[in-house]
């Protein structure tokens, strides 16, 4: 189970429920008198009833598939699903070069990045042209990697983004090492998110936005954070969104999609209770 049976948030919620029930019973028993022969039975039934409530709370916490978190005027939803089936704008993470070669060397076919290019882009050459000609991306160029053996050579600032087909926001998320492996330090991850949220603020135009859990795929974290898990990534994403001060006014909302294969690892209940 993702949520411990003695989880502190469940205990707190259960304690509040017990206090409410006890207050109601105390008020009722002022006017009712339970016969002596029924007091033991009543006590057992009461304890059993509380046990059922506790088990219900615990089970519900473990089978959650969606939580809604209120951050100011913004509704932030964390749920399982397919990002491509969501309404509004959808964010797709690219590497710092905005590579588009889906060859299982630079971009894995099964990755979100690869699936986007293979199944949702009709003309890759046009996509490359749009990326190269975008004025905002031009201002985010930080240099060229002339020694790179495969892929593009123009390197962009992490978090820099471009709107494609008025539906997809492509963002430079990960650095690539000499072996074309995506990697980041935790400091770069936080800085990426802060820049990314500002880019979302520039591009979203009061529409709902759906993003993946950045870094939950094959990205390698360095400098002591190699074992960071998806729950920690979610907490960092939510925290950086909070401090970014971006507001999605109703009916616009922000959704973080958790892939179904990873949902069993995510404690959605903890995210909700600690909002």
CA dist., res. 158 & res. 99, Å (int): 14
| Residue 187: its H or E element | helix 186-203
91: region left, alpha or beta (phi > 0 left; psi from -120 to 50 alpha): beta
Band the pLDDT of 145: cuts 50, 70, 90.
Answer: confident
Query: How confident is the model at residue 90, as a pLDDT?
Result: 97
pLDDT of 1 over the 70 cut: no
Residue with more model confidence, 212 or 105: 212
- Which pairing describes strands 209-212 and 89-95: parallel, antiparallel, or unpaired? parallel
pLDDT tops 70 at residue 274:
no
Q: Closest Cα partner for 216 from 201, 228, 208?
A: 228
pLDDT digits (tens, 9 = 90+) for 186-231: 999 999 999 999 999 999 999 999 999 998 876 788 877 777 889 9
Residue 29 has pLDDT above 90, yes or no: no
233-258 confidence digits (pLDDT tens): 999 999 999 999 888 888 899 999 99
Query: To the nearest whole number, what is the mean pLDDT of the chain?
Result: 88
């Amino acid at each position: 189970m993702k949520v411990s049976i003695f989880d502190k948030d469940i205990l707190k919620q259960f304690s509040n429920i017990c206090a409410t029930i006890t207050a109601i019973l105390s008020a009722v028993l002022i006017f009712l008198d339970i016969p002596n022969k029924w007091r033991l039975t009543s006590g057992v039934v009461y304890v059993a009833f509380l046990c059922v409530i506790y088990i219900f709370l615990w089970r519900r916490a473990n089978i959650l598939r969606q939580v809604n978190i209120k951050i100011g005027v913004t509704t932030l939803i964390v749920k399982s699903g397919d990002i491509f089936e969501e309404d509004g704008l959808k964010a797709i993470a690219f590497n710092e070069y905005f590579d588009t070669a889906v060859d299982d060397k630079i971009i894995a076919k099964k990755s979100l990045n690869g699936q986007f290019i293979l199944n949702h882009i009709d003309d890759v050459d046009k996509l490359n042209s749009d990326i190269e000609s975008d004025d905002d991306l031009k201002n985010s160029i930080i240099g060229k990697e002339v020694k790179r053996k495969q892929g593009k050579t123009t390197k962009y600032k992490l978090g820099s983004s471009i709107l494609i087909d008025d539906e997809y926001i492509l963002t430079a998320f990960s650095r690539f090492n000499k072996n074309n492996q995506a990697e980041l330090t935790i400091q770069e991850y936080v800085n990426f998110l802060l820049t990314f949220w500002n880019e979302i603020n520039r591009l979203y135009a009061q529409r709902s936005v759906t993003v993946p859990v950045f870094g939950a795929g094959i990205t390698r974290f360095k400098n002591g954070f190699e074992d960071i898990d998806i729950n920690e990534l979610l907490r960092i994403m939510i925290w950086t969104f909070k401090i970014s001060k971006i507001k999605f006014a109703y009916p616009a909302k922000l959704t973080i999609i958790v892939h179904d294969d990873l949902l069993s690892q995510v404690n959605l209940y903890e995210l909700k209770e600690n909002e």
